[in-house]
Amino acid sequence: METLISIRQLVNQFGQQRVHDGLDLDIYRGEVLGIVGGSGSGKSVLLRTILGLNAPASGEIHFSGKELVTMPEEDFARLKRRWGVMFQKGALFSSLTVADNIQFPLREFSTLTADECRELMYVRLEMVGLEREVADKLPAQLSGGMVKRVALARALVLDPVVLFLDEPTSGLDPVSAEEFDRLIATLHGNLGLTVVMVTHDLDSLFSTCDRIAMLADRKIIVGSLRELLANPHPAIQGYFGGDRAKALLRES
Amino acid sequence: MINLEQQQQDDTLHLNLQGDWTFDQTEEIRAALAAITPVVKHVAIQVEAVSHLDVTAAWLVYRQAQLWKQQGREVSFLHFPQEYLGYFERAANGEPPAPGIRQQALAGVTDPLHLLGRKVFHLLHLWRSLITFFGHSLEALFASLLSPHLFRVRSVLHHVFTTGVSAIPIVGLIACLISIVITYQGGGQLRDLGAEIYTVDMVVISVLRELGVLLTAIMVAGRSGSAFAAEIGLMKTNQEVDALRVMGSDPFLILVVPRLVALVIALPLLTILADIIALAAAALISSTILDISFVQFYTRVETTIEFRTFAAGIIKAPFFAVVIALIGCWQGMRVSGSSESLGKHTTQAVVDSIFLVLLLDALFSVLFYRLGF
């Protein structure tokens, strides 16, 4: 399998606290990778480091062969236009309508006309399963599930090669969360995206992810769900050994 | 790179798409599609040989196909991703959306009478809300005066510190600067008339009656009025105010009364401090540029300035304090949900309280004049 992103010997440190210590991770093209770990294990820091929002103390991150940490700011910015990112709380621009939020990247980074941008915006709304009426609302008028869908539509609008999702289903009710998982699975199937998601939701982990990367002891243990379950590492057994996880495993 | 192969067979134009049809190639795709003018009835779009076809590129092809259809041609897609076609068709055939906020906002401009009516009702609603808020606060204040165990002394002390003590440096500096400005400007003029001793009267009266209290109030409105609105507004967005209510506590008693009492204590004290510093600065500047010694300055103040000049200024301070605290807390309580609303109401708190302080000051001037005070 072709490696899209490879992280080598990553070290992240805040003051005395070392979050990642020599972390290695390969992300393959076209897979859905779930990043899990207990609270404070550095999942979000890892995601922020890949996205260039946090400069690592040392280590290398390669994206299709190009080194990101030392890459000049401009080149990195151009590269990142082909990445879709959905933040935990959506990060929709609060002063813009849904339509303007989704069109923002198109207006900024494409040569499409205003009409084309608007029609493509409606296509994205269709893709994430939202009504057209939503387009003229402000983010403050949307429910939690709708915010997530709009954020996903905005993340998809530049046809990203890779999609980063930070806790896509947190704060959603079980029905919406399941729908959202199905939506991501459908989009992944249709568009052939690489999806990297940080999640706490065991359901989405079991239903959508091809591989799971578990942060433990400032490093990463990666494998399919079966491989991880067979791993005797105490952190993994602790994470998947809970009653909820066991119940879900029995079901699947 | 994109590649578009054309092939005409009988009455069908076969378009064979090849290469990477992706978002980066928007320009090339558009140019390639525009270059094709089918002369025959059927167009068959074949995408089997494409290595990448993303949504934007596919949509551009789809849109071109729609144009050809409108020109009376028949277009067929071969191996075109079925899901994409589904999205495109639903997006293109959807109903135009109902008028949204933008159209509604425009409607306000096109119908001024409607807009005026709405503004008037909004204003009435605002005043009603402010008066209700004032009533609630007074009620809570009297309740806490009647049963002192409800009165939160620690909270009051905390707010006296944050609104009063920590404002001392900036208030002192402002008083000093304004006094220097008046002494320089007025002293220069009066010296030409040989009446430089009247500079003392002018500075002392203007500072004690008006400027000391007014500038201090404006400074405090900017510092503490906004802080009140932001603090309470943040608690509102975090549902902390709701939590208080659910626990059976009165948010007015816990949040508003201590701030109100603290500011009523702090603002007069700050004003006295501002008066002292302004007078000291005036004495210093007079002695350096006007040759009025400290003793002369002191004697002049003692003989010509009455106590009521000072009283006319300081008596306004508690009223200003009530206005600033009430407006700050009221705007904070009006914050709803979003962080955008928090910013809006914080700004509004400062603007409203400075405006009302100036309005109140004007009313006091008229009142004092009528009373001969």
Residue of A nearest to B57 (CA): A159
Q: Could you tell me the CA-to-CA distances from B153 to B149, B159, B220 in Å, in that order?
A: 9, 10, 21
- The secondary structure of chain B in percent helix, strand, coil, rounded to multiples of 5, reads 75, 10, 15
Listed residue (A2, A10, A8, A160) closest to A80, CA to CA:
A160
CA B232 to CA B255: how far, in whole Å?
8
Residues of A with CB under 8 A from a CB of B: 82, 94-95, 97, 110-112, 116, 119-120, 122-123, 125-127, 132-133, 135-140, 156, 158-159, 186, 190-191
Contact at CB, A132 and B23, closer than 8 angstroms: no
CA distance B204 to B286: 12
pTM, to two decimals: 0.73
Beta strand spans in chain B (E): 2-9, 12-21, 42-46, 50-53, 74-78
What is the least distance, in Å, from the CA of A115 to any CA of chain B?
A: 12
pLDDT at B212 over 90: yes
A-chain residues near B27 (CB < 8 A): 111
Q: Is the pLDDT of residue B102 over 70?
A: no
pLDDT of A132 reads 85
CA distance B94 to chain A (A): 7
Q: Are A137 and B100 a contacting pair at CB < 8 A?
A: yes
CB-closest option in B81, B94, B103 to A190: B81
Does residue B46 contact residue B15 with C-beta atoms inside 8 Å? yes
CA-closest candidate to residue A202, choices A194, A192, A217, A214:
A214
**Which residue of chain A comes nearest to B102, CA vs CA?**
A136
Q: Please count the residue pairs, one from chain A and one from chain B, whose beta carbons lie less than 8 angstroms apart.
A: 78
DSSP state of B133: H
Q: What DSSP designation does A17 have? A: E
Q: What are B207's two structure tokens?
A: 């500072």
Q: Which of A126, A135, A138 sits opposite B90 (nearest CB)?
A: A126
Helix B294-304 × helix B257-285 angle, to 10°: 130
- What sign has the CA pseudo-torsion B112, B115, B117, B120? negative
For the domain bounded by B2-92, which CATH number is listed? 3.30.750.24
What is the tens place of the pLDDT at every residue in B4-29? 888 888 788 888 888 888 888 888 88
The number of CA neighbours under 13 Å toward the Cβ of A139 is: 21
How large is the average pLDDT for residues B138-143?
A: 90
| Nearest residue to B322 (alpha-carbon basis) of B212, B223, B225 | B225
What's the rounded mean pLDDT across residues B237-250?
A: 87
Please give the structure tokens belonging to residue B335. Answer: 């914050």
CB A120 to CB B340 under 8 A? no
The pLDDT assigned to B100 comes to 63
State how far residue B92 is from chain A, nearest Cα, in angstroms. Answer: 7
Q: Is residue B43 over pLDDT 90? A: no
Question: Which carries the bigger pLDDT value, residue A130 or residue B109?
Answer: A130
Closest by Cα among A155, A139, A154 to A96: A139
In tens digits, chain A (252 residues) has pLDDT values of: 788 888 889 888 888 888 888 888 899 988 899 998 877 788 888 888 888 888 888 888 998 888 888 888 888 888 888 888 998 888 888 888 899 999 998 888 888 888 888 888 998 888 888 888 888 888 888 888 889 889 989 998 888 889 999 888 887 888 888 888 888 888 887 777 899 999 888 878 888 888 888 888 888 888 888 788 778 888 888 887 777 777 766 766
Interchain pair A135, B97: CB under 8 A: yes
Burial (Cβ within 10 Å: 0-12, 13-18, ≥19) of residue B99: exposed
Comparing CB atoms, the residue among A120, A136, A186 nearest residue B102 is A136
Taking residues B296-319, report their average pLDDT.
Answer: 92
Asked if A133's CB is within 8 angstroms of B98's CB, the reply is yes
Nearest Cβ partner for B337 among A133, A136, A140 = A140
Name, in order, each residue with C-beta under 8 angstroms of B235's C-beta and a sequence gap of 6 or more: B241, B255, B332
Q: How confident is the model at residue B229 (pLDDT cuts 50, 70, 90)?
A: very high
d(CA B350, CA B324): 8
Query: Is A121:B87 a contact under the CB 8 Å cutoff?
Result: no
**Chain A contact set for B91 (CB, 8 A):** 119, 122-123, 125-126
Cβ atoms B39, B20 nearer than 8 A: no
Question: Up-side HSE of residue B195: CA atoms within 13 Å toward CB?
Answer: 8
- Is the pLDDT confidence value at B120 over 90? yes
Q: At which residue do the structure tokens 């000093």 appear?
A: B176
Partners of residue A186 in chain B, C-beta under 8 Å: 83
Contact A119 B92 (CB under 8 A): yes
Q: Do A95 and B338 touch (CB under 8 A)?
A: no
pLDDT band at B99 (very low <50, low <70, confident <90, very high): low
Q: What's phi and psi for A55, nearest 5 deg?
A: -80, 125
Q: What is the ipTM of this complex?
A: 0.81
Cβ separation of B340 and A127 shorter than 8 Å?
no
What pLDDT is attached to residue A179? 82
pLDDT greater than 80 at residue B190: yes
Residue B98 has pLDDT above 70, yes or no: no
Structure tokens, B248: 């059976």
Single-letter code of the amino acid located at B204: V
Exposed/middle/buried for residue B367 (C-beta within 10 Å: 0-12, 13-18, 19+) = exposed
Task: Give B-chain residues touching A193 at CB under 8 angstroms.
Answer: none
Q: Where does chain B hold its CATH 3.30.750.24 domain(s)?
A: 2-92
CB contacts, 8 Å: A158 with chain B: 23, 56
3-class SS of residue B76: strand
Question: Chain-centre distance of CA B362, in angstroms?
Answer: 25
- Chain A CB contacts of B104 under 8 Å are none
Place of tokens 């709304």: A125
Mean pLDDT of B154-174: 94
B81 touches A: beta carbon within 8 Å: yes
Judge whether B34 is closer than 8 Å to chain A, CB to CB: no
- List alpha helices for A128-233, DSSP H: 144-156, 174-191, 202-208, 225-230
The alpha-helical segments, DSSP class H, found in B193-306 are 198-206, 212-220, 226-237, 240-246, 251, 257-285, 294-304
